[in-house]
Structure 1
Amino acid sequence: MLQEFYAVAIRKTQLPREAARKVVAKYAEWDPIRTDPLLIVSASKLEEDHSLALWDALIVEAALRAGATKLLSEDMQHGRRFGGLLIENPFRP
């Protein structure tokens, strides 16, 4: 998903490529949540129950598994909550 961040950061915020690479490198140090069958099953339930795209549901489910309290997304509804997880659009004016 870091590729999506990089693409959006340089396109929508005009963040210099070098700065965007540094952010990606920093985030790459984190311990990622692996996609496994249970993640897919849980995400498919979120997709069904909350009318999400499967890809968004996978991201939400991974964030929940990681214990995140905030998820930055330009694609999901700003202010929406999934349990203790808050969706925020970082590009919202």
Structure 2
Amino acid sequence: MTATSHFTVDTNILIYSVDRSDPAKQFIADKVIRALYAKRAKLPLQCLSEFYRATTRKRILSPIEATEFVQDALIFTDSVSATSEDLSEAMRLHQTGEFQFFDALLITTAVRASCTTLFSEDLQNGRTLGSLAIHNPFIMNETELNALIG
């Protein structure tokens, strides 16, 4: 595999990696995030914005801790921003009724960034959109997960 990897995560995977209320999910999410960093994988800035808001609003992390997490993620991943084309495609995808708008924006940004796997607990496990496959890491066995994160 090259210096970058072709998987990404949604916001909930980031949150579970720091949320101690579910140790089993935290362990798996942390494993995925460590691989994300080690592979310098793509990470939509949208996820980091949502992470900061959710972890500080729910008091999972202090604003300082959340800021440090986001700053580390910016150092250790290849962050990607949504483009106007991503926005247009997200609106089209949302209008099909299959996805909430911000999920559609995450998907279209990941597809453009050449991601082939999106780890998500909330989206449709096993669904494929173009070259992007959605996988729930919390229901995968260790062998399946390791095959996707390298």
With the length of structure 1 as denominator, give the TM-score of the two structures. 0.74
Contact 1:6–1:24 (CA under 8 A) maintained in structure 2: no
Secondary structure at 1:52's aligned position in 2?
coil
For CA contacts below 8 A with separation 6 or more, give which structure has more relative contact order: 2
SS of 2:133's partner is: strand
**1:14 and 2:14 correspond:** no
Q: Give me the identity figure in percent.
A: 28
CA distance in 1, matches of 2:12, 2:127: 21
- Tell me what 2:56 maps to: none
Residues 1-93 of structure 1: pairs in structure 2 closer than 5 A: 4-11=12-19, 12=22, 13-15=25-27, 23=34, 26=37, 28=73, 29-49=76-96, 51-92=98-139
Larger radius of gyration: 2
Q: Is the contact made by 2:12 and 2:120 (CA closer than 8 Å) also made in structure 1?
A: no
- Partners of 1:50 and 1:3 lie apart in 2 by 21
Structure 1 unaligned blocks of 5 or more: none
> What CA RMSD, in Å, does the superposition of the two structures yield over aligned residues?
2.8
TM-score (norm 2): 0.49
Contact (CA 8 Å) 2:123, 2:134: kept in 1 or not? yes
Runs of 5+ in structure 2 lacking a partner? 1-8, 41-72, 141-150
Structure 1 consecutive aligned stretches of length 4 or more whose deviation exceeds 4 Å? none
